Amino acid sequence: DGGITQSPKYLFRKEGQNVTLSCEQNLNHDAMYWYRQDPGQGLRLIYYSQIVNDFQKGDIAEGYSVSREKKESFPLTVTSAQKNPTAFYLCASSSDRRGTGELFFGEGSRLTVL
Asked if 75 is part of the footprint of other proteins (rule: CB under 8 A), the reply reads no
Out of 41, 57, 70, 81, name the contact with other proteins by CB under 8 A. 41
Coil, helix or strand at residue 109:
strand
Q: Where does residue 83 fall: left (phi above 0), alpha (psi -120 to 50 degrees), or beta otherwise?
A: alpha
Cβ density class 82-93: b for 16+ within 10 Å, e for less: beebebebbbbb
Out of 1, 15, 16, 40, name the contact with other proteins by CB under 8 A. 40
Asked if 27 is part of the footprint of other proteins (rule: CB under 8 A), the reply reads no
Asked if 101 is part of the footprint of other proteins (rule: CB under 8 A), the reply reads yes
| Number of residues in contact with other proteins under rule CB under 8 A | 28
When the beta carbons of 18 and 57 are compared against other proteins, the nearer one is 57
When the beta carbons of 85 and 106 are compared against other proteins, the nearer one is 106
Asked if 48 is part of the footprint of other proteins (rule: CB under 8 A), the reply reads yes
- CA pair distance 93, 67, nearest whole angstrom: 15
Out of 2, 15, 16, 97, name the contact with other proteins by CB under 8 A. 97
- CA pair distance 64, 66, nearest whole angstrom: 7
Contacting residues toward other proteins, per CB under 8 A: 31, 33, 35, 40-45, 48, 50, 58, 88, 90, 94, 96-108
